Structure 1
Amino acid sequence: MPLKLYKRGKVWWISGTVHGQAVRESTRTHDKEVAEAIRVKKEAGLVSDHVFGPKATRTFAQAVESYLKAGGDARFIGGLDDGLLCHFYDTPLKDIQQNDLDDAARKLYPTAQPETRNRQCYTPFVAVWNHAVKNGWADVRQWSRPKKPKGTNVVRITKRRAGTFPVEYEHAARFIAAMSPGPAMLMTTLFYTGMRPIELFALEAGEVNVTGRWISLYKTKTGEPRGIPMHEFLVPIFTSLLKRPGLDKEPRLFRTPRGEPYEQIATDEEGRGGGGLKSAINGARRRSGIKDIAPYTGRHSCSTGLVVAGVHPHIKDQILGHAADDMSRHYTHVPQAPLIEAINKLPVPDAWHALPWLEDPLAWSGRLAEGTGRRTDLEKRREA
């Protein structure tokens, strides 16, 4: 039965079955000619899938569209006029080889360093490819990434960017002390879980098990669920935030000082796209004089801190979400003692323990640090 158009309200819809594949979806257009073109393309695609299989017909553009609909990160994907999407647009996935990806990186970022090409070209491409693999549109493939030049004759003197390296926890504590309580709680959690900022922005009350010292994370950058152990230092923070009124309507735990959930904007290692943390970070830098901390610093510091504490690499990778085999996903919601024991090895400096908002995190969450606008809540608290 071929696909047919029918009108529902002012919008045209497609309905029918082609080679056993049932379709009922909106064309999202009022224009019948446009709707007919969409219908023809959809039907042709279903016929091609039946005859040749999806691996032979799916294009990079189709993979990107599906990836973004599934919640993938649009940053660095580009559009119809530039970036990866423009470069590979109608190219069938089966025709893209390693040299094609390397060529795209050179053309899109001709003067960039290897790490920049990796972050802005290879990483988003591989994310789209892996999504296509899950859909059965492409084969699993190990893509090679650019490497830094080796050899003692290669010297690059560049300034390290905040968020691309770890810091000592004593140093981080001084920075956190200069933040308003709300963002300070979020940054503290980043340092003691190793979570990505975008994961913590989306964290919901139902994903936190304080009694079991466990966070079951289902909204991740990679799209794969994982379980995260809760450091004992975070227990009073989560216990307090879980008492926030209205969590049944807006379940996200961490809020700005105005009580609004943080925007779920992807944050890179340089701190760009901070999803509402940018102002808090800049303010703390100004007040503390510390310039080398960004949202991603917590993840790097957590990783390094676990290594220094002698935690086994496999345990460390599980905590950070680097090891996500099929079996581990079955237990994302089950507290695992070895991981909880490992995370508790991260040090908690006295300066962090002494932060006044720890006495009642929820009550302090709406206050602002001294020097923030006209509010000097922390200054008044110290004078008291």
Structure 2
Amino acid sequence: MPLKLKPPRQGKTPNYAIRGTYLGIYVDRTAGTPDKATAQQLLNGIKRAIERGEYEKPAAVEPPREPTFTDAALAYLKAGGAPNYIERIIKDTSAHSLRDKTIATIDQITIDNAARAVYPDAPATTLNRQFYTPVSAILKHAGIERKIKRPKGWRGSKATSWLDPEPAFAVIREAYAIEPEFGLLCLTLLYTGMRLSDPLRARVRDLRLGMSLLYVPDTKNGEPRPVHLPPHLVEAFKAQPPRLARPRKADSVVLADGQAGRSRASAGLPWLQRPADEKLFRFCKGGRLYDMLDLAMTRAGVSFPRRQGAFHLFCHTYGTWMTHFGELDTYGLTRTGRWKDPDSADRYRHTIASPEARRADLLPAPPRRIRA
């Protein structure tokens, strides 16, 4: 077939193509233009180059490779995405692994199978937090807006445990008896609903008692939170005594295990006059701190299963009290800044009977002889 122009193909390409054989040299390439005159000039130039022996076929262009899940994950991390749990997903090499699958082929069934391959025995709440959430974030960053269904039960149980005022105050009293600073920490959690990590990361400079405020610059939600301090909590901060100096071991004296404690910075200084960049509370999140809470609850006669009775019990108590005594609805709880997702705050709606349910008080009363 002689060398000639091929017209554009509707729905395929808007440009002319140059195809055929000239002086034994086969040519098959695009003219790169929809203009016929320009395409003809390019064809004539190819003929002259063949006649001079100077024609070289254009290098073959490899089609772009479809990005894989690993490519998308790396791009997500480079853009500042949260790295939590991604490494374990990428390292999975099972038959259902996502790592080498192109993002366009990852559908709901693929995700479900991969989740169970990475976390075969995990509950739905863990699967959601450690697999579905990061995978969804990576795919959305890559431009895949497919809605991903979360595993059944991923929100966890709506059942909520909380403390009534009398047992709550008993726990606080026992916490102060164990150590005044531990008592103040528990009181702060009770009246602010903060996660344990928030006050433990706070610095002295973040405390603004004149504004009744503790500013938390980095929360789990990823957003700063100005935490309101009620008047009695402000007074508790002002009344906090200085830290005691660390007990020292004297000659021939054996201290009980743990009595010496850890080195206490700023011992003897007024508690609010410590250096601005010092930690607000001296504690670290760990077993020792949880043991202190267990001791306070035991002494107060309060008992909950371990999962329900840890420091998060103060958060549930705060949410319940703000619903019972503060008369906040789900929207109001979200506006406090403690909960970002209304679905999370909605659990406290279940701690009170609805106005509709309370209308049962209007039902006809039974005759006295029935109650006798």
Q: 1:125 to 1:173 in 2, by over 3 A?
A: same
2:184 aligned partner = 185
* TM-score, normalised relative to structure 2: 0.51
Alignment of 1:234 with 2:233, yes or no, is yes
C-alpha separation in 2, matches of 1:106 and 1:320: 34
Q: Contact 1:205–1:247 (CA<8 Å) still a contact in 2?
A: yes
Tell me the amino acid that sits aligned with residue 282 of structure 2.
R
- Matches of 2:271 and 2:65 in 1, distance apart? 56
2:201 is aligned with what amino acid? A
SS in 2 for 1:144: coil
1:101 aligns with 2:111: yes
Identity among equivalent pairs (%): 23
RMSD (CA atoms):
4.3
Q: Does residue 304 of the first structure (1) align with residue 317 of the second (2)?
A: no
Given the alignment of the two structures, is residue 319 of structure 1 paired with residue 326 of structure 2, yes or no?
A: no
- Written as runs of structure 1 = structure 2, the 5 A alignment for 1:240-259 is 243-250=271-278, 252-256=279-283
Q: Which protein is bigger by CA-based radius of gyration?
A: 2
In structure 2, the CA distance between the partners of 1:290 and 1:87, relative to structure 1 (3 Å rule), is: farther
C-alpha distance 145-248 of structure 1, shift in aligned 2 (>3 A): same
**CA distance in 1: counterparts of 2:146 and 2:202, whole angstroms:** 32
SS in 1 for 2:223: coil
Q: Give the equivalent residue in structure 2 for 1:336.
A: none
1 CA distance for matches of 2:337 and 2:116? 31
1:296 offset after TM fit, Å?
A: 0.5
Cα separation, partners in 2 of 1:217 and 1:108, compared to 1, 3 Å? same
Ranges in structure 2 where 5+ consecutive residues have no aligned partner:
1-63, 241-269, 343-372
Query: Which residue is equivalent to 1:288?
Result: 300
Question: SS in structure 2 opposite 1:211?
Answer: helix
1:131–1:109 Cα change, 3 Å: closer
1:146 aligns with 2:124: no
Whether the 8 Å CA contact 2:92–2:99 is kept in 1: the answer is no
The amino acid across from 1:58 in the alignment is D
Q: Secondary structure at the match of 2:168?
A: helix
For residues 21-52 of structure 1, the C-alpha deviation after alignment (integer angstroms, 9 at most, x for no partner) is: xxxxxxxxxxxxxxxxxxxxxxxxxxxxxx88
| Counterpart-to-counterpart distance in 2, 1:187 and 1:275 | 16
Confirm or deny: 8 A CA contact 2:207 2:215 kept in the other structure. yes
Query: What CA distance in whole angstroms lies between the structure 1 residues aligned with 2:274 and 2:102?
Result: 48
Task: Give CA deviations for 1:215-244 in whole Å, capped at 9, x if unaligned.
Answer: 332211122223322222211233456944
Matched residue SS, 1:165: coil
Cα distance, 1:193 vs. partner? 0.8
Q: Give matches, 1:326-337, under 5 Å.
A: none
Tell me the distance in 2 between the aligned counterparts of 1:111 and 1:211.
50
Question: Unpaired segments of 5 or more residues in structure 1?
Answer: 1-50, 150-159, 257-261, 264-273, 326-384
From 107, 131, 134, the counterpart of 1:125 = 131
CA contact (8 A) 1:192 1:302 kept: yes
Match of 1:178, SS? helix
Question: What is the CA-CA distance between 1:286 and the residue it aligns to?
Answer: 3.8
Code of the aligned partner of 2:162 = P
The count of aligned residue pairs is 239
Moved more, 190-199 or 92-101: 92-101
Instruction: State whether residues 101 and 122 of structure 1, in contact with CA within 8 Å, keep that contact through their aligned partners in structure 2.
Output: no
Q: In the alignment, is the contact (CA less than 8 A) between 2:184 and 2:236 conserved in 1? A: yes
Amino acid at match of 2:168: A
Q: Is the 8 A contact 2:172 2:186 kept in 1?
A: yes
Residues 129 and 231 from structure 1, CA distance in 2 versus in 1: closer, same or farther, beyond 3 angstroms? farther
Q: TM-score, normalised by structure 1?
A: 0.50
